[in-house]
Structure 1
Amino acid sequence: MDRVTAPPVRLQTEGTLATLTLQRGERANALTADMVDLMLSGVEAAQAAACTVLVIRSAERQFCGGFDLGLDTSDPTASAVLTLRFLRIGLLLERVMTSGMLTIAAVEGPAIGAGADLVAACDVRIGTERARFRFPGSAFGVVLGVSRLSQLVGPARAVQLGASGAVLDARAASASGLLTEVVADGRLEDAVRETVDAVHRSPGVLAALKEATQQRDPAGLGSLARSLARSPDLAGSLAHYTRGSLPGPARCQHDER
């Protein structure tokens, strides 16, 4: 595939299976505004096609480096733009969680920040032994995906992970409930296919199952909005975080390859 012209997100459907592939490997799949919009459109298109399973994966050996900070933070409108972008990511997480599809995250390599939140939003979360996770958003005042993380690992553990920004390797993620399965390198495709083949329910039934097990605000959009409201200088907070945490010119939330 031509990497120059390839879109950063690709949707493929095969019968009742839909696959969303992140393919912005040169930036560790850090999420731009366009990528989030493409993913939202992809989820809606998969639902419209009556797909029963949605797999979210990467074309590279890294899942997602989080929120891409490629924005001039000195622009007076930067904080407003960033606020909208975070809310759109929150909406994407909600769409993934409440869709009438079984959602599967296929994770290889790092999933950082919004990338880790995207994994947590999925119903089934399969990772290789190279998978690792980090939730640094609270370092710049943004509470994204914590509601769902709390459902998976428990409130105390979710607070600790958010407050410390600690890295979870695959085994720790499995033990805590963030990953549902850890597989050896080279076994990810087989494990995903086995999970897909085991699904024999309609989208309506799957949606009902998911609704019955979720909180009223599964993605924590209310908490996200409140955290953003408490951060009037979000651009300044992000600029400070980037200068203090990332080596070199990288401007995305990930700091691991």
Structure 2
Amino acid sequence: MSASELLSRRDGPVLHLQLNRPDKGNALSAALVAALAEAVEAAAQDESLCLLVLSGAGRHFCTGFDLSRLDQETDDSLLARFTRVELLLQAVHAAPFTTLALAHGRTMGAGADLFAACDERWIVDDASFAFPGAGFGLVLGTARLAGLVGATRAADWIESGRPIDADEALAGRLATRRIDAQAVDGECERLRARVSRLNPLTQRAIHTAIAAGRHPRGAAGDADDLARLVRSAARPGLRERIAAYRAAQSKN
């Protein structure tokens, strides 16, 4: 592992990627998104890989899109960054191997969308979730979330932007399991044994076939999601809307 914003460790057929910006709540900077996208793309080309594990260093899995330098952004730069996040989410969602996200602490915005894009979604000890993007006019990950938790629940979570605790996340199928931190290694090893039992090419073919049934929208759905995101982010005044949203939140 290196001292970069993304730590990578290969363990046989398993690739571990850890978001490594603990002092920023692992918020998704442009560099971190680029590193994640490159790692996921390379993993998709590696036919020996069976499992991708995503985790976060420090107290939180991922607190969302990094807006710490909002004053240096423009509407155009924000649009480009949000587009790259959506493309990353699509790549994770369509990965030809099993994906596992380990959420703990705060998991918000694009971080919650990254969690939702994975096949296996485990809460480690405790976690809270929120989808605040609609508060500043952004449409990101909405259709994927609705496909996962149902249209009514997705509408509630997205329109309200309210916190979602671990129990509600489990009940709503946002999370698939809740485990103790000391059990993570053992449970990951059990998952590894399951997904690596078959020949890697066979396993990938089975995973792709199952994913097609689980995510029937396919490439056309991805194109629609990207178009909705771009239309929402391209509306003039994005930076000002985000700044106004952050100011309102700071008063609450």
* TM, length-normalised to structure 1: 0.88
Report 1 or 2 for greater relative contact order, CA contacts < 8 Å, sequence distance ≥ 6. Answer: 1
Q: CA deviation at 1:132?
A: 1.1
> After the TM superposition, which residues 18-167 of structure 1 pair with which residues of structure 2 at under 5 Å, given as runs?
18-50=15-47, 51-73=49-71, 78-167=74-163
The answer to whether structure 1 residue 226 and structure 2 residue 224 are counterparts is no
Give every structure 1 segment of 4 or more consecutive aligned residues whose post-TM-superposition deviation is greater than 6 Å. none
Distance 2:106 2:165 in 1: 9
CA contact (8 A) 2:25 2:59 kept: no
Residue 17 of structure 2 corresponds to residue 16 of structure 1: no
Q: Give, in whole Å, the separation in 2 of the partners of 1:188 and 1:108.
A: 12
Report the 3-state secondary structure (helix = DSSP H, G, I; strand = E; otherwise coil) of the residue aligned with 1:186: helix
When structure 1 is superposed on structure 2, of 201-210 and 165-174 the one drifting more is 201-210
CA drift at 1:211: 2.4
Contact 2:6–2:36 under 8 Å retained in 1: yes
Question: Does the 8 Å CA contact 2:14/2:51 hold for their aligned counterparts?
Answer: yes
Secondary structure in structure 2 of the residue aligned to 1:177: coil
Q: Does 1:237 align with 2:238?
A: no
Residue segments in structure 2 that go unaligned for 5+ positions in a row: none
Residue deviations 1:8-32 (CA, integer Å, cap 9, x gap): 1122212111111111100000000
Aligned partner of residue 130 in structure 1, secondary structure: strand
Q: Which residue is equivalent to 1:213?
A: 214
- The alignment yields a C-alpha RMSD, in angstroms, of 2.0
Q: 1:190 to 1:60 in 2, by over 3 A?
A: farther
Q: TM-score, length-normalised on structure 2?
A: 0.89
Quick check: 1:52–1:101 contact (8 Å CA) kept in 2? yes
- For residues 226 and 105 of structure 2, the distance between their equivalents in structure 1, rounded to whole angstroms, comes to 27
Aligned AA for 1:128?
Answer: V
- State the secondary structure of the residue aligned to 1:182: strand
Q: Which has the higher helix share?
A: 2
**Matched AA of 2:6:** V
Looking at structure 2, the residues matched to 43 and 94 of structure 1 have their Cα atoms a distance apart, in angstroms, of: 11
Q: Whole-Å Cα distance in 2 between the matches of residues 171 and 188 of structure 1?
A: 19
Deviation at 1:72, TM superposition (A): 4.3
